[in-house]
Amino acid sequence: MWMKIQSARGTRDFYPEDMAFRQWLVERWREASRRAGFVEVDGPELESLELYTDKSGPEIAEQLYWLEDKSGRKLALRPEFTPTLARMIAARQAALPEPIRWFNVSRCFRYERAQKGRLREFFQWNIDLVGVEGEIGDAECISIAVDALKNVGLTPADVQVKVNDRRLLGALVRHLGIAEERVPQVFAILDKRAKVPPEALAVMLAEAGLESAQREGLERILAWQGLGDIEARELATSEIHAAVEALNRLFAHLEHYGIAEWCRFDIGIVRGLAYYTGPVWEVHDLKGEFRAIFGGGRYDRLLGDMGGKAMPACGFGCGDVVLGLLLEERGLRPAAEPAADCFVLREKPDWPEMLKAVRFLRGMGLRTQFDLKEGRLKRQHEKALESGARFKVILGEAPWPRARIIDSRAAADGAMKERVADLAPDDPEALKNLKVFLGVGAS
């Protein structure tokens, strides 16, 4: 009866191939993080529900998993890492040297309808850079994201970082005469522009109370292909001027990071979240088949709003689901590594001898398998082949400790390398030779 129970909606089982891929992906994330000198942190998967409702309002409880513990405390499975980060920083901020360079890989949960690329349980990589005010901080974050993209085998022909700045968009919207209190609503509508036909967008903007001149102005702005398209008359206000200069500084940094070809300005990038205060960016696949792979930006007020000292901050998040789908689709998902380096075989069963060999090989740090099911030699050869182990160690052809070792990796001339040697030799020279043959670092 237990086998009738399916995995819960929106969750995944990770069989060995899936687990290998997940760990490979997480390792690529960690490499990119560490290359930039970031350190890993983590917090609990269970957090007080208030941590999320205080920030986003009680409605947010509908969109996450929460429960009451045996004492009646309301706890939530974390839907993201940022609130935890804010809490951790607030608790120690006096002692943390700035800038804070932290990264995190967390299992997160969201209670929402599962769809392709969007599950209820997923893994998310977060980079947070706290204490850096200038565009160099945003550029640093983007460069780490691009490093990770390269690290998994993607190229600018596959994906692109689309960069915008909320201050620019906000200044332009205000310049069109749109009331300040309407700006969040207008942002929310603009955020949908890629998913909705232009006519529908116009209707939504009209319903938001925008006059036709304002709608036309927005359409003109959204048609911009680059910063160079910004017409002189749009630069009328100092606010717009300053925002454009900030973006120019950001792009200059990206140029010097050597990643300009990965990045482009896109006035349409808004991000759904209200807390972004400056540059915002997303990574999308060029074909537009998938939803955003990365989302990031600057959130200078978040830490202060969460009860800590106000500190400038920027960062991004990247989930495993969409990135995994993209890599799968592009054929970039790597094959799992073999689980063994050595496979020990012996025709006549002789466990003491077999286990002496196994202990010796494992003692050298070699991942070693043998046939636990006592198959005949032919079957053992098949299992050795299936294991993917590089070395076959064949016992019993000569008296212990003599073994024949076959290196399945072809030599330069294409021949199989093979040698007969004593296992666990006392002679240091023989041991050294054996280690060289088995590719074990001398020690």
Partner RNA sequence: GUGGGCGUAGCUCAGUUGGUUAGAGCAUCGGGUUGUGGUCCCGAGGGUCGGGGGUUCGAAUCCCCUCGUCCACCCCA
Indicate the helix (H) or strand (E) that contains 428. helix 428-438
Show the tokens assigned to 390.
Answer: 């590089």
Q: Is residue 66 a contact point for RNA (CB under 7 A)?
A: no
For residue 94, the minimal CB distance to RNA (Å) is 27
Residue number with CB closer to RNA (203 or 222)? 203
Selected binder of RNA within 28, 87, 101, 110 (CB under 7 A): 110
Selected binder of RNA within 9, 34, 359, 409 (CB under 7 A): 9
Contacts of 429 (CB under 8 A, 6+ apart): none
Length of the chain: 443
DSSP for 35-52 reads HTT-EE----SEEETHHH
Residue number with CB closer to RNA (11 or 212)? 11
For residue 124, the minimal CB distance to RNA (Å) is 9
Site for RNA in 375-404 (CB under 7 A): 375, 377-379, 381-382, 385-386, 392, 394, 397, 404
Selected binder of RNA within 60, 96, 222, 440 (CB under 7 A): 60
Residue number with CB closer to RNA (272 or 365)? 272
Site stretch for RNA (CB under 7 A), options 4-12, 160-168, 169-177, 245-253: 4-12
Q: Is residue 115 a contact point for RNA (CB under 7 A)?
A: yes
CA distances from 222 to 93, 173, 215, 242, 307 (A): 40, 11, 10, 19, 36
Q: How far apart are CA 210 and CA 178, in angstroms?
A: 7
Selected binder of RNA within 36, 90, 96, 114 (CB under 7 A): 114
Residue number with CB closer to RNA (120 or 253)? 120
Contacts of 224 (CB under 8 A, 6+ apart): 230, 265, 267
Q: How far apart are CA 392 and CA 380, in angstroms?
A: 10
Q: Is residue 8 a contact point for RNA (CB under 7 A)?
A: yes
Residue number with CB closer to RNA (14 or 213)? 14
Residue number with CB closer to RNA (52 or 125)? 52
Name the maximum alpha-carbon separation found in the chain.
94
Instruction: Evaluate the CA torsion angle 23, 441, 439, 435 in order and state its sign.
Output: negative
Site for RNA in 131-190 (CB under 7 A): 188
CA within 13 Å, CB half, 42: 10
Show the tokens assigned to 68.
Answer: 């009451």
Residue number with CB closer to RNA (136 or 406)? 406
For residue 391, the minimal CB distance to RNA (Å) is 12
Residue number with CB closer to RNA (244 or 269)? 269
DSSP for 94-148 reads TTSPSSEEEEEEEEEE--S--BTTB-SEEEEEEEEEES--SHHHHHHHHHHHHHH
Contact flags string 211-250 toward RNA, x per CB under 7 A: ----------------------------------------
Residue number with CB closer to RNA (126 or 251)? 126
Q: How far apart are CA 263 and CA 160, in angstroms?
A: 6
Residue number with CB closer to RNA (10 or 156)? 10
For residue 57, the minimal CB distance to RNA (Å) is 10
Backbone angles phi, psi at 14, to 5 degrees: -110, 95
Q: Is residue 406 a contact point for RNA (CB under 7 A)?
A: yes
Q: Is 268:163 a contact under the CB 8 Å cutoff? A: no
Residue number with CB closer to RNA (105 or 240)? 105
Neighbour-count burial of 10, counting CB atoms closer than 10 A to its CB (0-12 exposed, 13-18 middle, 19+ buried): middle
Selected binder of RNA within 34, 42, 58, 63 (CB under 7 A): 63
Backbone angles phi, psi at 342, to 5 degrees: -125, 150
Contact flags string 79-98 toward RNA, x per CB under 7 A: xx-x----------------
Q: How far apart are CA 139 and CA 315, in angstroms?
A: 10
Q: How far apart are CA 145 and CA 29, in angstroms?
A: 9
Site stretch for RNA (CB under 7 A), options 108-116, 221-229, 233-241, 252-260: 108-116
Show the tokens assigned to 398.
Answer: 């000569």
Site stretch for RNA (CB under 7 A), options 1-9, 18-26, 303-311, 333-341: 1-9
Q: Is residue 411 a contact point for RNA (CB under 7 A)?
A: no
Q: Which long-range contacts (CB under 8 A, 24 or more apart) does 11-17 make?
A: 11/119, 11/120, 11/121, 12/119, 12/121, 16/336, 17/336
Q: Is residue 112 a contact point for RNA (CB under 7 A)?
A: yes
Site of interaction with RNA (CB under 7 A): 4, 6, 8-11, 52, 56, 60, 63-64, 79-80, 82, 110, 112-118, 188, 192, 195-196, 271-273, 291, 295, 317, 345, 373, 375, 377-379, 381-382, 385-386, 392, 394, 397, 404, 406
